[in-house]
Amino acid sequence: MNRTIIISSAAALSVFAAVLYVGQQSSAGPETVSSSTQPATALGKYVDKDGAIHLPEDYRLKWIHLGSWYVEGKNGEEGQVHDVYAEPETVAAFRRTGKWPAGATLVKEVRASEKGKMTTGDVHWDGQIKHWFVMVKGTSDRTFPENPNWGLGWGWGLYKIDDPKKNISTDYKTDCRGCHIPAQQTDWVYTQGYPTLNEKEGPFKKYPKESYEGK
């Protein structure tokens, strides 16, 4: 009988301890996340937990080409061709809503422009890569507020050909923002140059993937 009582008492004590622990955990409330960090998974695989941005490596093979810009050279200098890419799911989301979803990643590939005469006339075409710009849409205007390469709702990156793994932008205000000021009303992106995002008539009434799959 004494042995039974001892075992029962020990079991009751264990139950009491478990209930006490659960109560303490409940009263502590949900775990909070510092305003200076963002969950990296919400922004895609190209953003680290501290806001560092990486240049995607497979954008030319797997992403959607949004459009190209030709920039005339000045004073006899060579011109540039800017080719811009985005992930397929980003394009689909923008076509549905007219807005960039959190984690949307844009890559602008800047190349030298070659030119010459062909049967069609004076032509320009892509030359060697010079550098890249990357933009990543944040979850809010306060995404990574302590990181100088985040602001205006975006993360900003600049990468040179000699070391494409290093973001050489030190502050988006000085390295990136100036060129985007005219595009402030379209969320800092020159969307008028990207027909894939905007054309919805004729053969582009549906997103290409839907047309290919017969939906």
Supply the CATH number for residue 127's domain.
3.50.70.20
What average pLDDT does this structure show over 194-211?
74
For the record, the structure tokens of 195 come out as 């027909």
Q: What single-letter DSSP state applies at residue 40?
A: G
User: pTM here?
Assistant: 0.75
In a domain, 27, yes or no: no
Query: What's the burial of 11, exposed, middle or buried (CB within 10 Å: 0-12/13-18/19+)?
Result: exposed
Query: 165: which residues sit within 8 A by CB, 6+ positions away?
Result: 54, 55, 159
For 7-50, how does the pLDDT look when each residue is reduced to its tens digit (9 = 90+)?
A: 344 444 343 343 334 344 444 433 333 334 455 557 989 999 99
The domain tally of the chain equals 1
What average pLDDT does this structure show over 167-171?
97
In a domain, 183, yes or no: yes
In a domain, 107, yes or no: yes
In a domain, 184, yes or no: yes
In a domain, 7, yes or no: no
In a domain, 18, yes or no: no
For 66-108, how does the pLDDT look when each residue is reduced to its tens digit (9 = 90+)?
A: 999 999 888 878 899 999 999 999 999 999 999 999 999 999 9
64 is in which domain, residue-wise? 35-212
CA triple 38-44-50, angle to 5 deg: 35
Question: What is the predicted pLDDT for the residue at 42?
Answer: 77
In a domain, 104, yes or no: yes
H/E segment holding residue 109: strand 105-118
Give 210's pLDDT tier (boundaries 50, 70, 90).
low
